[in-house]
Amino acid sequence: MIRQIAKMWQIHSSIFKNWIHKVWWYLRTHIQRVRCTRFFSLVYRSHSSNPLTIKNVHDPNMRKVDLSIALHSNFSNPFSIVGIIAGNGLLPISLAESFITQGGQCYIAALEGEADPTLYKDLTHQFFKIGMVKPIIEYFRKYDVKNIILAGGVKRPNLKAIKVDLMGSRLLARILKQKFLGDDKLLSIVTDFLEEKGFNVVSSYEILNANNSIKTRIAPSSIDNTDIELGMKLLDSIGQLDVGQSVIVDNGYIIGIEAAEGTDNLIKRCSYLRKNSTGGVLVKMMKKGQDTRIDIPTIGPETINNLASYGYKGVAIQKEKVIVIELEKTIELANKCGLFIVEKLNIY
């Protein structure tokens, strides 16, 4: 069977190309462990400088490889152009710089009132008002952008007062029809709308590789690990309700759950709710069932600075589901401040 498929690929490459890419994106987005590496590795690497042979594909070790890792190692940039719709924070900048370093072209649609203009002066960008959808679509089409990433935070505007163009009004109508509108639902509507316009919305992980091993000098204590376990259990339970991605736990007590205020304000708010003036851990993970292309949880130097300022002990993040912005700087800062950063698998 494998031989037949490989032969068909060699002969009818142009026919299968789009289909293979669509399946690949689906698997990278929705499936973590896949046992069909033999087929996809053969298909993709038949176009590389060192293609797999049928003999290689039957290597038993290949059958045990994580598909996402196998494909990503061969194709760190499956496309050459990407567009970023940028909100606030450093994630859009990190994505753009990483992609350009890999040899790609990046075009940024920065949102007025959210993205900091001083951060984008060295990048190809244009600012747009929230609600003016058609100019953003035309901007990306002008540069032949097919793949778009949504990155950075956006403060929720007053949907009934926001000024929109005709295309924006159609998107807004879909949003206002929803009885319950959490962040995931809102972003899913935006994602569906963009895909209807011919774009492919991709995950930040397609640009920023999964974090390297994270190890700080300080490790969590047994009490900290118990708090982390409690926090992960809670987030796993409430994630499907489209509630926040973070919780703070201190000595077995849930101090606070992230709401609309965001992680930084959660850290500040909970600092006044502890029994003691210091202590507690931040636990951050992806919501259960969340679309991995949008609203990926992040931490970075600012998170560490806030935790240190309010006397926390450290942060636990879900392994391979949370992006650490400026990884080396973040670890260095945590070591300097005496905080731990630890990765944990969600086993619940």
The structural domains of the chain, with segments of one domain joined by +, span 2-62, 81-206, 222-344
Which residue has 């994270």 as its token pair? 214
Phi, psi of 95 (to 5 degrees): -60, -50
Whole-angstrom CA distances from 216 to 149, 279, 317 are: 30, 18, 13
Question: Can you name the CATH fold of 222-344?
Answer: Cytidine Deaminase; domain 2 (3.40.140)
CA–CA distance, 226 with 221 (Å, rounded to integer): 9
- Lowest pLDDT segment from 154-158, 214-218, 245-249: 154-158
Tell which residue, 97, 106, 88, has the closest CA to residue 147.
106
In 109-141, which positions are buried (b, 16+ CB within 10 angstroms) versus exposed (e)? bbbeebbeeebbeebebeebbbbebeebbebbe
Contact 279, 17 (CB under 8 A): no
Q: Is 161 exposed, middle or buried (0-12, 13-18, 19+ CB in 10 A)?
A: exposed
Q: How does the average pLDDT of the chain come out, rounded?
A: 79
**Angle of the 327-337 helix axis to the 301-309 helix axis, nearest 10:** 20
Which of 30-44, 73-87, 318-332 is most confident?
Answer: 318-332
- pLDDT of 136 higher than 50: yes
Contact 175, 158 (CB under 8 A): no
> Could you tell me which residues are beta bridge partners of residue 106?
82
- State which amino acid sits at residue 2: I
- State which amino acid sits at residue 63: R
- pLDDT of 17 higher than 70: no
CA–CA distance, 228 with 134 (Å, rounded to integer): 44
Contact 101, 207 (CB under 8 A): no
- pLDDT of 147 higher than 70: yes
Whole-angstrom CA distances from 7 to 2, 48, 53 are: 9, 16, 12
For residues 33 and 251, the model is more confident at 251
Q: What is the mean pLDDT of residues 288-297?
A: 80
- Is there a common fold for 81-206 and 222-344? no
- Give the other-Cβ count within 10 Å of 158's Cβ: 6
For residues 250 and 178, the model is more confident at 250
Taking the whole predicted model, whether its pTM rises above 0.75 is answered as no
Contact 292, 203 (CB under 8 A): yes
Tell which residue, 240, 226, 242, 255, has the closest CA to residue 316.
226
Q: What is the pLDDT of residues 64-110, one digit of tens each?
A: 333 222 233 333 455 789 999 999 988 999 899 988 988 899 999 99
Pairing of the two strands 323-324 and 298-299 = parallel
pLDDT at 184: 75
CATH 3.40.50.20 describes domain 81-206: yes
